[in-house]
Each structure stands twice: as structure tokens, then as C-alpha cells.
Amino acid sequence: MKVRKAIIPAAGLGTRFLPATKALPKEMLPIVDKPVIQFIVEEAKASGIEDILIVTGKNKRAIENHFDSNPELEQDLEKTGKSGLLKLTQEITDLGVNVYYTRQPYPAGLGDAVYRARSFVAGESFVIMLGDDFDLMKDKVPLTKQLINDYDKTHASTIAVMKVPHKEVSKYGVIAPDGNIAPDLYNVKKFVEKPAVDKAPSDLAIIGRYLLTPEIFDILEHQKPGRGGEFQLTDAIDTMNKTQRVFAHVFKGECFDVGNKEGYLETSIQYGLIHPETRDALRKYIKELGKKL
């Protein structure tokens, strides 16, 4: 069966971006002129996803408003002849994918957020897409689509991983690889959430795209809290890997972590350098700045 459902967990507190995220959802932070969550939804659409469930929480209304119409704004843009902006605004509402919402009452961890999508998923294999990790889609095949392509061959759960600098492994879920079945597709011995740098089984870190079979929900249902007292998705995946194959897909493209300040700035610059309205001026500015640094 075709993978056609995606979950976007967006109920976290975004503490790494305070004070910006005190009232504004982290997922609404803009990369130049587009909120992070819109990039994620566009990647889902480009990957053939038809139904998206966004798991939100308190203070996250702006996400729903973003994908809704804004008649006052649209009328004004029409009246003032700003047809380009009008089209841009209407396209967000008229995405061609269904977007649903549910709320996570307490930010009890990613595993708990995902469990709230059980009835939405309704027994199908599905993808999870985190707003923290950002595929600028310079690659022809979006990261989510690459996982779906693997699944079409293996029918197994597949998690996206990427090589990160060794000193940074403690920020991620990390895999212990166990040989590969294709150039980019590895068997996994173990999935470990945020290991200490000297205990990490590899430098292959989980980035925010997961393709999972629905059996994950039976595991999440009975799971105990893990690291930080939160329900960790990585722990549930590690348990599932003991009864059915879970592969790791090594992503070789460019993926940015916008969940931290440095990564957010880097992503904004990278996107600014390909955005038609900003690329020339920004390139010039960076060159000038480089001489002074």
C-alpha cells in the first residue's frame, strides 16, 4: 500500500529559541519569508503525501491560521492589484493536501506526540516529519520521498540518518549500524537517544524524517518514559527493531538543523542565497562582510 499519511509533531516548547518562542510557535519562525512548517508541508506534498496531521499544543494557533484563508488580506491584495502576493497567499490555503490538527495537552515527549496520531494513521505505514530538520530540497528527490522509495522495495520501517561531527552526537538519536543491504541502506543493531559522546555507537545521527509501520503504536502504548522523563520515539523504534526490521537510510544531501540558533541562521543564509529576491544582494553583502571579519 502507498505511503500517503504524514504526522508533523509541533507541540514542543521551543525553549532553545526563547524569548522568540514565548508566544510564537517555533514552527512559525521564518526562513527569509516562509515559516519553517510551510517548507515541511511542501516537502510532504512533493513526496506524494495526501493527508497530514499536525500535532499542536497551546500557543500554536498561528499554525492553523497560516494554512487557513485570510479574506481581509486577500481582498486588500486584490484591490491594490498585488496579484503575485495574492497568488502566493491563496496557494497556502489551496495546497492540494489535507491538513488536520490534534492537540497534545502536555509536551510529554515526541513518542507521546506521535501516539496521538494513532487513529489518524489507522493501520497504515506513515511518515513523521520534524520541523527541526530541514531539507532545502536542492536534491531532486526530497528526503521524505527517498524514504518512501526505500519502503516501496523493502516494506520495512526506515529512519533517515546523517553523519554528524563526533562531538555533536549527544544532541541526537544515534544508530549502531550493522552492515548495509544497499549503498545508502543499513541494518541497525541499536537506536540510542542522545548518547554521551564517548558512548555513541557511531556518528550516524537520526534526522527528523521517519517512515514507520503502524506496529509502532502498540509499542508506544505500553512504553515507559525514557531520557529526561519523556516518552522517547527513539526507544520505541529500538524496541520495534527487535521484532521487525528497521533500516537506516543515510542521507547524503544537505539537511539543516533549524532547531538551534546557529543552524537556523545558516539555513536562512543558504535559502537567502537561492531566493530570487535576495540572492544577489545577499551574496554581495556576504563578500563585503567576509573582508571585514
Residues that bind ligand UTP (CB under 6 A): 9-16, 26, 55, 104, 107-110, 112-113, 130-132, 259
Q: Which is nearer to ligand UTP, 194 or 245 (CB)?
A: 194
Least distance in Å: CB of 199 to ligand UTP?
21
Q: Which residue is nearest to ligand UTP (CB)?
A: 12
Instruction: Specify the residue, 210 or 271, whose C-beta has the smaller distance to ligand UTP.
Output: 210
Q: Give the nearer residue to ligand UTP in terms of CB position, either 104 or 157.
A: 104
Shortest Cβ 80–ligand UTP spacing (Å): 36
Least Å from the CB of residue 19 to ligand UTP:
12
Q: Which is nearer to ligand UTP, 133 or 238 (CB)?
A: 133
Q: Is 263 helix (H, G, I), strand (E, B) or coil?
A: helix
**In the complex, least distance from residue 15 CB atom to ligand UTP, rounded to whole angstroms:** 3
- Shortest Å distance, C-beta 251 to ligand UTP: 17
Q: Which is nearer to ligand UTP, 115 or 271 (CB)?
A: 115
**Residue (220 or 282) nearer to ligand UTP, CB:** 220
Task: Give min distance, CB of 290 to ligand UTP, in A.
Answer: 30
